[in-house]
Amino acid sequence: LSVTLGVVFLFYHLVLRKLTFYNWNRWYLLGYTMMSFFIPFVNISNVNEKYEWGSSEAVTWVPAIGQAVLPVNSVAQNGISFTVWQWVMLLTLSGMFILLIRLLLQFISYRRLLKKATPVSSGEINFYEVKENIIPFSFGDSIFINRALHTETELQEIIRHEIVHVRQKHSRDIIWGEVLCIVNWFNPFAWLIRKAIQQNLEFIADKNVLDNKYNKKEYQYLLLKVI
């Protein structure tokens, strides 16, 4: 899984990132990262036997999942002891648990903000007014803004940007990026893919605004002001 995610990111970074096919890049990042979870379950025993990979040092180093389980008799006679791979498994699960708690806390923080926000309009897309000094954002079918921080013209383009995120269900991509980092938190490529997913979604929304003939330089200044 870790190696496959590395290949997915490197191909994106070296080949696809500079291209402007942002929607295709979106489906590449989603589709191939999901496929990475199935590749480890492909049975290569026949190929292994045919080419005699079993005697290879690299292959024998990779542990089978069953090797991480202690025999019952060993535990009973010698007390609790851990192999190196069991410590690795314990560390891996601990990291996954911590990041899962972090994600839950972020969701709780979002729910609290939602309760404090003032509904402006509802329907296919819900708009909320937030009195705090926030960067405009969207999640699910909701958009959160502080109208006092922006002019009417700026608000139009900000809302147009966020509507793209809502209508194209970009929140699902964001959640998937978080899942990748939870499951494969020790792999730097998982974090790089998460960042690439988020960045590419912003490119999609920005392109949609600019396709509506908004001045590119003014839009750049607007992004700087929002940040």
Residue of 49 and 22 predicted with greater confidence: 22
User: What percent of the chain stands above pLDDT 90?
Assistant: 51
Residue 57 has pLDDT above 90, yes or no: no
For residues 129-154, one letter each, b for 16 or more C-beta atoms within 10 angstroms of the residue's C-beta and e for the rest, the string is ebeeeeebbbbbebbbbbbebbeeeb
Residue 134 sits at φ, ψ, to 5 deg, of: -115, 160
CB-CB contact of 139 with 128 (8 Å): no
- Residue 180's nearest CA partner among 170, 166, 192 is 192
Average pLDDT of the segment spanning 29-37: 95
For residue 78, what pLDDT is reported? Answer: 53
Kindly state the average pLDDT of the residues 48-76: 60
pLDDT of 54 > 70? The answer is no
Nearest to 65 by CA among 47, 41, 81, 49: 41
Q: What's residue 40's pLDDT?
A: 84
pLDDT band of 129, cuts 50, 70, 90: very high
Percent of the chain with pLDDT over 70: 86
